[in-house]
Chain A
Amino acid sequence: MTWRLALRDLWSSKLRLFLTGLSVVLGVAFVAGTFVLTDTINRAFDTVFSDANANTAVVVQSEEEIGQTREPLPAALLGRVQAVPGVQAAQGGVFGLAGIIGSDGKAVTTGGAPTLAGAWGTVAELNPFTLREGGPPTAPDDVVIDVSTAREEGFRVGDRIGIIPPSGRPEQFRVSGTAGFGDEDNLAGATAVLFSLPTAQRLLGLEGRFSDIRVLAEPGVSEGVLAGRVQAVLPAGVEAITGQQNAADQSEQLQDQLSIIRTALLVFGFIALFVGAFIIFNSFSISIAQRTRSLALLRAVGASPGQVNRMVLLEALVVGVAASIVGIGAGVLIAIGLRELFGAFGGDLPQAGLQLNARTIIVSLALGIGVTLLAALRPAIRASRVSPVAALRDEAPQEAPRALRRRLVSVSVFAVGLAALLVGLFAEVPNRLVIIGASALVLFVGISMLSTEIARPLARIIGAPFARLSVTGKLGRENAMRNPYRTAQTASALMIGLALVGLATIFAASLSASVKDTIEKRFDVSVVLRNEQFQPFSPAVAAALAREPGVGLVSQWRLGQFKQGRTTRDIAASDPAGIPQVWDLGVTSGAVAALRAPDTIMVSDDLASDQGLRVGSTIPARFARTGDTTLRVVGTYSETTFGDVLTGIGTYDRNFSPPRQDFLVFARPAPGATEAQVVEAGRRVEEQFPNVISQTKSEYVADVERQVNQLLNLVFILLGFAIIIAIFGIVNTLALSVFERTREIGLLRAVGLGRRQVRAMVRYESIIVSVLGGLLGLVIGVALGTLVVSRVPDVPVLSIPVGSLVVFLLLAAVAGVLAALGPARRASRLDILKAIQAE
């Protein structure tokens, strides 16, 4: 009987059911879509890698991998491997990165995917690439390019194209053929150029060496056995792994990168669900308040509090289950949409069937149902406390129990959340991000509870201009103020969304401002040369720039990685003589000049204090090329544009194998020359190297700002889900309120309020609620943003973009107008007679 009542109540309020469910649907869809998309991509790469390497029995490579690079092998190893019994064929592979000059004369961009380069495998079974057109590269100036690039750039077999090698200058090659990666036209948007072995070795700086050796087994010899035999002939530091293992490793590397995206997306999914929880809570609370009399009647005719409680929870369960199932379906659609979107931006993903794993379904159901039940718990308890006498009372009761206790609880929740957040931000704790995330949730709940206290006065202030404007404005304001609990809860959802928008905005603005501040104050350079996607480029660029007239100092910067124990650290390197001239690094002890000595480093103050380092200390370091080494600290500095570890170019070149590439080059005018001459020189170098751009400091800053803003826009889009849910929440509350005020609206219509005025009244209420949420959210966002910025050392400058914040507030008002559309229409169409005769 509980079941039947629950279902009947649900069905009798289909609109509420729909709007409440929608908030769960969107959150679940986000989570499910993320899982489906990333699972599908993972599965696709698994297939691609295992197909492409299907015949590779054993792969020989250096054991140590630091920052995804392995030291190349001596070419002589190939003969030894070939001689192992059971080896039918073995092929030395050479790979690295090299760009292609497109038909427009500029480097072909990949949107972040690598620009692969390598030697064409002459043993067909071991070659992951398959020829589609033309022939393999045989002549020194032959190249095979991937089918996608050929198609997009309009390159045909026989065409001459420019290749940008990692070192040296661009060179011309003849397209001898096109190839796909296995059955795919390309590898997730990466470009590929394949040369004959000697050419590849020369271009990639790997003369006399191989990146790896791939082995084809004789029939009947198992991968595992062969790997064992090959391992036996290898020197220390070189490993033989099975082809299967290798495919799994390659796939895993991509999946690791993908898992960052997955985690980021899931975070936004959880935010959406969290916001949805507020809507559910609010919706159930209102519905319980409106049904007080019928619930009391149930109690009067003998239902126990437990039965009433169960009835409400059953309703929630039905909503949760239905919405989660729809959400999973919607998630699959989102995944399909996103995959198409990637494709449209050139990041063709290998095709594979959509992966709707059991895990996805279980997690989505658990989250959707869990959030719904949890949010409905309090309303259910409140429903069970309705006394049978309430059936006889005339007035609908208010939703305001025990003010003092409520206040105490709100303040405690808020305080706990804030304290935990401060601990997460400023104390040394493990799992910092988890603590910050969890405490932010608690904090938001606390603020939302507290906001019921200020909702009424705030609504009065926000609505003051409307109230002065017209009687509908006044009515709308009074409606927003009449139930501060409802108003606060409804606004809370939007508050969370806008708090995160505010936080992201302030962080991004501060980041841009910090970069600008650092570049302007700390760097004394005329031009910066770099790759558009911050990929490294040939040292020939610096050499060409140095030859240009008017150019004085040219400062090259390189990046690498080493391992300190188990931690992988970035290390930046430049000529010690040039460093202090172009960059004020804020030396706090020692001297830059000391970096001329071999195996010396300077460390940031942060790292120094973390590890108790000072001038004269040593740290153990492991490099891919040189193995275990000891680095001596010769100084400390405060400015961390180039990270925590800085070394001289001599130390760098000793510890890293060719091709040694630059990732930034700075230049200053020669004595007597002007800045303009240097800028001109940069332009000319740009023309010679299509993968490099030359920028002045202000152009560089503008570019960084643009990129930060792009990222910010992406965050906005992802937060958009939560904000849309919040807007649905406002629609939901308004619709329920309009329903509740049927008689009142009828009365107003009878005494002369026009339809347009009724709509305006609902609209004013909606705007007040949404601006209230927006205002609170932005205030919290500013507070959180300020806290976070103060915690992040890389962002020393706090910037609060007031203009943007005002725009967000206006957008919140617009959201209020949109949210009011449906309910206002409904209200204005109420039949006056029915309204005044109700009951």
Chain B
Amino acid sequence: MSDEATPAAGVPPTPDRDGHFAARIAEGVKLYGEGETAVRALDGVSMTFPAGQFTAIMGPSGSGKSTLMQCMAGLDRLTGGHTWLGETEITALDEKRLTQVRRDKVGFVFQAYNLVPTLTVEENITLPLDIAGRKVDRSWFDQVVDAVRMRDRLHHRPSELSGGQQQRAAAARALVARPEIVFADEPTGALDSRSGAELLAFLRRAVDEFGQTVVIVTHDPNAASHADRVLFLNDGHIVDEMEAPTAERVLDRMKTLGAQ
């Protein structure tokens, strides 16, 4: 695919099976720096994340994939364009509302340092609910905790967990508030392959069994192969899209991206 293949401005986003969007971005532009030295991290990106889908965003380093995720998750602001989380346009929200949106509509899993070291695993998992002052739905909590197999670790501190356990706890935290969408930024980046596979299997289950929307940013073709759909990003553009990916096909596509 060539650079001209960027989806045109104003193209209506494709609806999902039920016609719902978990998240959407239109004409997203993100500039870093100013004037001559400005870097266009996102260069007019438009796309949708249908509800109940597992999407992977891939691309070489500096392609803008993390920036895309951060802007869509309300961690960062677009320089131009619009983003929505569910029905809410978050582009112009003030800091306070944005924080609320993150708290209520988004779950996060980062590459590392996902847990607050002073809190127990259980407290970490319920943290978003506690921050919001919402009640914990115990049966849902139990379901999630069992799904990530953390039941016997609930009263441990993060420092007593392995890396894989920490990431699974983070995933549980991301799900427990029933967010519209879970964003995971290189969730397996710091894990060995077995732990990584476990985590991805859990995220897959979250989509299949709980109907959760999950978006992961990764450069690992194996990780991407767990997704329903893979988006390829390069130089701030979406350059390709792949349904029902396999690790081999993704790897091939990445090779050609890298060659460009």
Residues in A lying within 8 Å of B, measured CB to CB: 395, 470-472, 474-475, 478-479, 481-482, 743-744, 747-757, 832-833, 836
B160 within 8 A of A: no
User: Would you give 15 A-B contacts (Cβ < 8 Å), ordered by A?
Assistant: A478-B118, A479-B118, A482-B118, A744-B116, A747-B113, A748-B127, A750-B102, A751-B173, A752-B104, A752-B132, A753-B131, A754-B131, A755-B95, A755-B99, A832-B75
Contact across chains for B75 and A751 when beta carbons are under 8 A apart: no
Q: A471-B131, A475-B116, A479-B118 are in contact. Are A753 and B110 (CB under 8 A)?
A: no
- Closest Cβ of chain A: how far from B85's Cβ, in Å? 13
Contact across chains for B131 and A751 when beta carbons are under 8 A apart: yes
B128 within 8 A of A: yes
B96 within 8 A of A: yes
Contact across chains for A478 and B119 when beta carbons are under 8 A apart: yes
B70 within 8 A of A: yes
Given the complex, which residues of B lie within 8 Å of A481, measured CB to CB?
118
Residues in B lying within 8 Å of A, measured CB to CB: 70, 75-76, 95-96, 99-100, 102-104, 108, 110, 113-119, 123, 127-128, 130-133, 159, 173
Contact across chains for A475 and B118 when beta carbons are under 8 A apart: yes
- Closest Cβ of chain A: how far from B143's Cβ, in Å? 20
10 nearest CB pairs, A to B: A752-B103, A478-B118, A471-B130, A754-B99, A752-B131, A743-B113, A751-B128, A752-B102, A752-B128, A482-B118
Given the complex, which residues of A lie within 8 Å of B103, measured CB to CB?
751-754
Contact among B76, B99, B113, B115 for A752, CB-based, below 8 A: B99
Closest to B115 in A: A747
Given the complex, which residues of A lie within 8 Å of B127, measured CB to CB?
471, 748, 751
CA of A756 to CA of B103, assembled, Å: 14
Contact across chains for B75 and A750 when beta carbons are under 8 A apart: yes
Given the complex, which residues of A lie within 8 Å of B102, measured CB to CB?
750-752
- Closest Cβ of chain B: how far from A708's Cβ, in Å? 46
CA of A768 to CA of B127, assembled, Å: 21
Given the complex, which residues of A lie within 8 Å of B116, measured CB to CB?
475, 478, 744, 747-748
Given the complex, which residues of B lie within 8 Å of A470, measured CB to CB?
133
- Closest Cβ of chain B: how far from A643's Cβ, in Å? 61
- Closest Cβ of chain A: how far from B3's Cβ, in Å? 27
Given the complex, which residues of A lie within 8 Å of B115, measured CB to CB?
747
CA of A470 to CA of B131, assembled, Å: 8
Contact across chains for B113 and A753 when beta carbons are under 8 A apart: no
Contact across chains for A833 and B75 when beta carbons are under 8 A apart: yes
Contact across chains for A757 and B75 when beta carbons are under 8 A apart: no
Q: A471-B131, A755-B95 are in contact. Are A750 and B119 (CB under 8 A)?
A: no
Contact across chains for A836 and B99 when beta carbons are under 8 A apart: no
- Closest Cβ of chain B: how far from A309's Cβ, in Å? 30
- Closest Cβ of chain B: how far from A433's Cβ, in Å? 46
CA of A571 to CA of B68, assembled, Å: 91
CA of A748 to CA of B173, assembled, Å: 12
- Closest Cβ of chain B: how far from A581's Cβ, in Å? 71
Given the complex, which residues of B lie within 8 Å of A475, measured CB to CB?
116, 118-119
CA of A776 to CA of B113, assembled, Å: 35
Given the complex, which residues of B lie within 8 Å of A744, measured CB to CB?
113, 116-117
Given the complex, which residues of A lie within 8 Å of B114, measured CB to CB?
747
Q: Which of B95, B117, B123, B131 has the most CB of A within 10 A?
A: B131
Given the complex, which residues of B lie within 8 Å of A753, measured CB to CB?
99, 103, 131
CA of A796 to CA of B115, assembled, Å: 59
Given the complex, which residues of A lie within 8 Å of B76, measured CB to CB?
832-833
CA of A65 to CA of B132, assembled, Å: 80
Closest to B108 in A: A750
CA of A399 to CA of B185, assembled, Å: 32
Q: A749-B99, A751-B103, A836-B110 are in contact. Are A757 and B131 (CB under 8 A)?
A: yes
Given the complex, which residues of A lie within 8 Å of B99, measured CB to CB?
749, 752-755
CA of A756 to CA of B119, assembled, Å: 20
Contact across chains for B96 and A755 when beta carbons are under 8 A apart: yes
